[in-house]
Amino acid sequence: MNDTLTSEPPYSRPRDVQSLDECYFYHSMDVPGYGPVQGEWDLRGRIGPYLGNFNFAGKRVLDVGAASGILSFHMETQGAEVVSFDLSDDYDWDIVPFAANDADSMRQERRRHLRRINNGYWLCHRAFQSRARMVNGVVYDIPQTIGPVDVSVFGSILLHLRDPFLALENAARLTRETMIVADLSPYGKLASRYRRTPRFMPRADRPDGISDGWFRLPPLLVQEYLGILGFGQQSITWHDFQYGGRMRPIYTIIAHR
């Protein structure tokens, strides 16, 4: 049954998490009372460029795929009212179903991993004294009970999704003004100006390889997606960010209705 705007608000109850040992951090962060924590991505000091230097003051924002919450908490400090959205351990990760793998075991492992990611969010939420609200669910069915938002943000999550267009479409239903998408391109900056073909990341002969990534989407294709959804006034910027000890080029698209 579809949600309606008169239904019960879908916000998740905060968790009381105080130990780093219970957490997994997707982003490196400097957490008040805990100090620096190490994550896969390091955006520290450069979150503004990562988000296209957008002015979030006075905006209601949906942070899709919030993970450890670094973007949510940053946008909140910029004057936004933030709704964070992410999977919880009640839901399955969009894993690649290699026939050679034990799918049930992988699902259970991913749910345990999701709980640690969620714990990291709630530990940081408390440490930063955040007022952001969390909604847990599947990106292909974002609840309409969240209500309208001014801005939706997709921070490097489209590559993890089997159906990235459907995810964008679900957020676009709620978004009145602007969609912001930051992601990795399969091509360099120059080639990305001309190519729309995505790169399929999994390989049939490597079931022990990538199982949580699907597509590298070139920015021209994402811009077409956003244009189809009604966000045709667009700009794009490029910056390098650290992932796993190396610098990776990230494009950021800001698209307005």
Could you list the pLDDT tens digit for every one of the 257 residues in the chain?
444 444 567 999 999 999 999 999 999 999 999 999 999 999 999 999 999 999 999 999 999 999 999 999 999 999 999 999 999 999 999 999 999 999 899 999 999 999 999 999 999 999 999 999 999 999 999 999 999 999 999 999 999 999 999 999 999 999 999 999 999 999 888 888 899 999 999 999 998 888 899 999 999 999 999 999 999 999 999 999 988 778 889 999 999 99
Helix (H, G, I), strand (E, B), or coil: what is residue 49?
helix
Q: Which residues pair with 249 in a beta bridge?
A: 240
pLDDT value of residue 121: 98
Would you state the torsion angle of the CA atoms of residues 108, 110, 112, 113, taken in this order, to the nearest 10 degrees?
170
Give alpha helix (H) positions in 90-212.
103-127, 164-172
Q: Cα–Cα distances in Å, from 82 out to 212, 222, 234, 257?
A: 26, 24, 23, 20
Fold of 29-256: Rossmann fold (3.40.50)
**Cβ-count burial of 169 within 10 angstroms (0-12 exposed, 13-18 middle, 19+ buried)?**
middle
pLDDT value of residue 9: 72
Residues 6 or more apart whose CB falls under 8 angstroms from that of 161 comprise 94, 139, 167, 214, 215
Residue closest to 155 by CA, chosen among 235, 55, 41, 17: 41
E strands, 21-77, in order: 29-31, 35-37, 41-42, 60-64
Q: Would the pTM of this model clear 0.85, i.e. be above it?
A: yes
pLDDT value of residue 210: 83
- Cα 219 to Cα 225: distance, rounded to the nearest angstrom: 10
Within 10 Å of residue 148's Cβ, how many Cβ atoms?
13
